[in-house]
Amino acid sequence: MLERDDSREARRFETVAAALEDVTPWLEAWRPGSCAFGVRGPVRLSGGEANLVRRTTRLVVAALDDLMGSPAGHPGCGIGIADGRFAAGLAARAADASVVDGGGAVVVPPGGVPAFLAPLPVAVLGRPALVDVLTRLGLDTLGAFMTLPAADVVARFGAEGRDAHRLASGIDGRPPDPRPVPPDLAVSVAFDPPVERVDRAAFAARSLAEAFHGRLSDRGLACTLVMVEAETEHGERLARRWRDEGVLGPGAVADRVRWQLEGWLHGPPATRPTSGITRLVLVPDEVVPATGRQQGLWGGVSAADERAARACTRVEGLMGPGSVRVPEWRGGRDPGECLALVPFVRREGDGSDHPSRVVAVEADGPPWPGTLPGPLPAAVHVDPATVEVRDAAGRMVAVDGRGALSAPPHLLLSPPTPNESAVTRARDLVVAWAGPWPLDERWWDPERRRRSARLQMVTADGTARLVVLEGGVWRVAATYD
């Protein structure tokens, strides 16, 4: 019912993250409310995974009790243990937080990740465009998806499909080719006077994230784990590691710096520094080869793409997260379905091969048979205008069950208004047309079945339109440039 408030979540999450430092200093935050750490060291100190779960639960629940004032003020926490971050995160979501004194746990045995993932829906992959295609193909679960040969998945879906297929198969963990981190890749910014306001520090963090990304790109590297460090006027040193799926672009880094600043500067008094921040540092803690860049025609990064990405990043820095939207290919048979506006994220993807035991605390696309021939229309109308398509004899043009026209279209007429006669109605002479392209989608679902026929036509004034017949009514669905 309410929009997500990342700033408030970040302020409260810092209390939990600080409490978990008693378990391990190698905590990795994913986003406010979710974090993970490897069990190899902590499990030895705790005397087994069961004891580790109880200890983690006790610390998190105590931190939430202090934060919310009483055990009744929060739902507890979910804990998952599995081979790899992806499976551990899903195990944490599946845990019942109402048990075990406010903390439930799902422990996936070593080697049991594929069986754990198999019945889960493909929606957990977090890739809406790919999930939509997989669902249409009848691949509703991760188990069905993982049975496909990896080579066929790459041929059909590219790098995104490859990474998703590896996750569905339980191949998750450290990057496949981690590199030693050069000592001179850290970037920093000093504040004089010290800052105690998140907005001022976050504005500087945007530029710092750009510099951080640029320094890595110059070395042909990308960051998968970043350390956010801060120094205060009283000499305090604060640090937190942040990770994201794939590699961290400048926008993702800036978001994580902002979340961490919210936790440090506006969090509970117990976790708040005693003075303002004088220095902010970004340190790459784990880097991989930057393989996600598309090279330009004559070598090097496409200058136009780079300029566009930088412009979007700057606008987002001024207007706030999610304020910039870009078109993303979704696939479909109608122009209105092919592209969708999604929040701009500057990110490069990467896969991983080596599983590790982890605790988690919770414009081109493939061909579509039946699609319209290119190019796509320049404008897809949100509210298509109703029209009439008539033949030379003045009869309404119809489409039979075999997809054939009753007669060639001759006139395109606007619908009559109450004070308009049939003689004065706006009409356009059709000088060229193509089609029809019949469409029968979801025939197996009576409630969502859709039957239509599409015509491309050019009128005497030079306007090219896409006209669709559905439910016995013609509408102008799109206009060509």
Which range among 48-57, 97-106, 135-144, 335-344 shows the weakest confidence by mean pLDDT? 97-106
Residues 163 and 266 in one domain: no
pLDDT in the model for residue 180: 62
Asked if residue 91 lies in contact with residue 82, where contact means CB atoms within 8 angstroms, the answer is yes
Q: 120 pLDDT band (50/70/90 cuts)?
A: very high
* Position 225 in a domain: yes
pLDDT in the model for residue 350: 39
Query: How many structural domains are present in the chain?
Result: 3
Residues 123 and 202 in one domain: no
| Nearest alpha carbon to residue 6 among 343, 348, 351 | 343
Mean of the pLDDT values across residues 443-465?
Answer: 81
**Span 151-182, pLDDT tens digits:** 888 888 887 888 889 888 888 755 444 556 66
Q: Is the dihedral of CA 138, 144, 149, 154 positive or negative?
A: positive
pLDDT in the model for residue 337: 72
Name the more confident of 360 and 35. 35
Domain boundary among 361, 392, 419: 361
Residues 143 and 191 in one domain: no
In SS3 terms, the chain reads as CCCCCHHHHHHHHHHHHHHHCCCCCCCEEEECCEEEEECHHHHHHHCCHHHHHHHHHHHHHHHHHHHHCCHHHCCCEEEEEEECHHHHHHHHHHCCCCCCCCEEEEECCCCCHHHHHCCCEHHHHCCHHHHHHHHHCCCCEHHHHHCCCHHHHHHHHHHHHHHHHHHHCCCCCECCCCECCCCCCCEEEEEEEEECCHHHHHHHHHHHHHHHHHHHHHCCEEEEEEEEEEEECCCCEEEEEEECCCCCCHHHHHHHHHHHHHHHHHCCHHHCCCCCEEEEEEEEEEEEECCCCCECCCCCECHHHHHHHHHHHHHHHHHCCCCCEEEEECCCCCHHHHEEEEECCCCCCCCCCECCEEEEECCCCCCCCCCCCCCCCCEEEEEEEEEEEECCCCCECCECCCCCECCCCCEEECCCCCCCCCCCCCEEEEEEEEEEEEEEECCCCCCCCEEEEEEEEEECCCCEEEEEEECCEEEEEEEEC
Residues 209 and 311 in one domain: yes
**Span 332-347, pLDDT tens digits:** 777 777 777 777 765 4
pLDDT in the model for residue 1: 57
pLDDT at 183 over 50: yes
CA dist 471 and 452 (Å) reads 7
* Position 229 in a domain: yes
pLDDT at 294 over 70: no
Helices 250-266 and 303-319, packing angle to 10 deg: 20
pLDDT in the model for residue 145: 92
Mean of the pLDDT values across residues 419-441?
Answer: 73
**Span 187-239, pLDDT tens digits:** 888 988 888 888 888 888 888 888 888 888 888 888 888 899 999 988 889 89
* Position 324 in a domain: no
pLDDT at 351 over 60: no
pLDDT in the model for residue 377: 81
Mean of the pLDDT values across residues 442-466?
Answer: 81
Name the more confident of 71 and 105. 105
Domain boundary among 307, 331, 361: 361
Neighbouring-strand partners of residue 174: 354
* Position 148 in a domain: yes
Query: In this prediction, what percent of the chain has a pLDDT beyond 90?
Result: 4
* Position 330 in a domain: no
Residues 157 and 77 in one domain: yes
CA dist 49 and 67 (Å) reads 27
pTM more than 0.75: no
Mean of the pLDDT values across residues 271-295?
Answer: 78
Residues 169 and 191 in one domain: no
pLDDT in the model for residue 70: 61
pLDDT at 427 over 60: yes
* Position 328 in a domain: no
Residues 461 and 393 in one domain: yes
| Nearest alpha carbon to residue 324 among 335, 315, 333 | 315
Domain boundary among 361, 395, 412: 361
Residues 234 and 168 in one domain: no
pLDDT in the model for residue 417: 64
* Position 366 in a domain: no
pLDDT in the model for residue 177: 46
Residues 197 and 140 in one domain: no
CATH number at residue 298: 3.30.1490.100
Residue 387: domain span: 379-480
Mean pLDDT over all residues of the chain?
Answer: 78
CATH number at residue 163: 1.10.150.20
Residues 107 and 235 in one domain: no
* Position 370 in a domain: no
Residues 156 and 246 in one domain: no
Residues 104 and 232 in one domain: no
Q: 477 pLDDT band (50/70/90 cuts)?
A: confident
Residue type, 422: A
CA dist 146 and 129 (Å) reads 18
pLDDT at 366 over 60: no
